Structure formats: structure tokens, C-alpha cells
């Protein structure tokens, strides 16, 4: 079993839909990160959180430490949101080691 | 302020050769970490440097090595290249601990081994 898992693996949505991507992990963590990778490879760090909820524009990230689960929500999705979304956790025991999830490929259709 | 700069952007090498990739972190960032991304394995942690010291290393063979200079710039080297080393190599910089402080990624170096 992978230490960090994401669901769904692939997601296609109509423009304007509300989107949820899930991440579950099995290790102790110092923090959880959501990353966005566009075609071509560039990666942008969206959120870093260790508890509760963060919001930035149309993006919302939540984490439940007890359940070892995080969700990334996109409200009013837009074609420019099409990307791969990657969940990554910073290891609690080895603070400088990062473990990545497999990514969720999102395609938003106009 | 300038972001994380990786050079070169693209590289084609032959099996058996060696390659050196460069990463210049954001000014003031002292941690540089390296990652390999392949279609089959996704993103995998290679190693992380802080103040010229390697603090952690992922599960990669000894052909993969790196170093960090006093100005925090980092290089990674892959010797005796194999076809399976073809990948996007990303570096990221962080003020201190990338797992806890967040990181900024470079655009990557796409290496093709033929």
C-alpha cells in the first residue's frame, strides 16, 4: 500500500462544476502540500497545511489529522484549472523528506 | 524576486554518458531538494541539501549524486546513464525544511537518454 494515495486518478468536469480531489496518507506528517502541475512540467505549490482549512480564491484545502485525510476543492471550475494535482506530505520523522501522491489529472471542459 | 532556475531545460544524452544538472535557489533559501518524475513512477524524492550538507537521500542508486555550494546553488550528477533515467528532474528550494516550510519548484530539466 502506498504511503500517500489520491482519488480519483482522473477527473473530467464541465466548466462551472464543483470539484473535489482526495488525499489519504498512512505516515506521520509535519505538513501536507497540494501542488499543481501544468502540461510542460512546471509545478506550483498551492497550499501547505497542518490543520484545519485554507482558502485561496476558488481553491479550498482541508485536512483531518485524525483521519489522515485531506481534500482539495475547486469551486466554479474553469478550463485553466486543467492540470495534475499532487498531494505531498512532509515526513514527521524525517522532516526534510517529502512523499508524493500519484497525482490526479483534471480536465475541465468548456 | 527571481524564482528557482534550472539549467539546462532540455538535454539529450547517450547511454553510458554522465550528466550534470544545475539548480539555483531563490535568494536566501538554504535548502535545495531534487526530484525525479517519470510517467510510471510519478514524483520521487532524490535528495536534499542544506548548508552544503546532504541531509536525506531517497531510494536511488549511487549513480545519482549531488552537491551544494556555499551560495546554495546545487548540482546533481548522474553517471553511467541508463535509458530508464529519462525523466523530468525538478529541484525545489525552501528557506529551511521543505516538508514543513513549503517549497518553490523550478521548471525542471527534461533529460532524454538514447
Q: What is the pLDDT of residues B79-89, one digit of tens each?
A: 999 999 999 99
A90 interaction partners in chain B (CB closer than 8 Å)? 97-100
Q: Is A103 on the interface with B (CB under 8 A)?
A: yes
Residue A1 has pLDDT above 90, yes or no: no
Residues 31-50 of A with CB under 8 A from B: 31, 33, 35, 40-45, 48
Q: Is A17 on the interface with B (CB under 8 A)?
A: no
A35 interaction partners in chain B (CB closer than 8 Å)? 105
Please answer yes or no on whether B48 and A96 come within 8 Å at the CB atom: yes
The average pLDDT across B59-77 equals 96
Of A19, A25, A22, A27, give the one whose Cα is nearest residue A4.
A25
User: What's the pLDDT band for A29 if we cut at 50, 70, 90?
Assistant: confident
Q: What is the pLDDT of residues A46-72, one digit of tens each?
A: 888 888 999 999 999 999 999 999 999
The average pLDDT across B13-23 equals 98
Of B45, B55, B102, the CB nearest to A45: B102
Question: How high is the pLDDT of residue A95?
Answer: 47
The average pLDDT across B90-113 equals 83
User: What's the pLDDT band for B100 if we cut at 50, 70, 90?
Assistant: low
Amino acid at each position: 500500500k502506498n504511503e500517500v494515495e489520491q482519488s480519483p486518478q482522473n477527473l473530467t468536469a464541465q466548466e462551472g462544476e464543483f470539484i473535489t480531489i482526495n488525499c489519504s496518507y498512512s505516515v506521520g506528517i509535519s505538513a501536507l502540500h497540494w501542488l499543481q502541475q501544468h502540461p510542460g512540467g512546471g509545478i506550483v505549490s498551492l497550499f501547505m497545511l497542518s490543520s484545519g482549512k485554507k482558502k485561496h480564491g476558488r481553491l479550498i484545502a482541508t485536512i483531518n489529522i485524525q483521519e489522515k485525510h485531506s481534500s482539495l476543492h475547486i469551486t466554479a471550475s474553469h478550463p485553466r484549472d486543467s492540470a495534475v494535482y499532487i498531494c505531498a506530505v512532509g515526513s514527521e520523522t524525517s522532516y526534510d523528506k517529502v512523499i508524493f501522491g500519484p497525482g490526479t489529472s483534471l480536465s475541465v471542459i468548456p | 524576486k527571481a524564482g528557482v532556475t534550472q539549467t539546462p531545460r532540455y538535454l539529450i544524452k547517450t547511454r553510458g554518458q554522465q550528466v550534470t544538472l544545475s539548480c539555483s535557489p531563490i535568494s536566501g533559501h538554504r535548502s535545495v531538494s531534487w526530484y525525479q518524475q517519470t510517467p510510471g513512477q510519478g514524483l520521487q524524492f532524490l535528495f536534499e541539501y542544506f548548508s552544503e550538507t546532504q541531509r536525506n537521500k531517497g531510494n536511488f542508486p549511487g549513480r545519482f549524486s549531488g552537491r551544494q555550494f556555499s551560495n546554495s546553488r546545487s548540482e546533481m550528477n548522474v553517471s553511467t546513464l541508463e535509458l530508464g533515467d529519462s525523466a523530468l528532474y525538478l529541484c525545489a528550494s525552501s528557506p529551511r525544511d521543505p516538508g514543513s516550510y513549503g517549497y518553490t519548484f523550478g521548471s525542471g530539466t527534461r533529460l532524454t537518454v538514447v
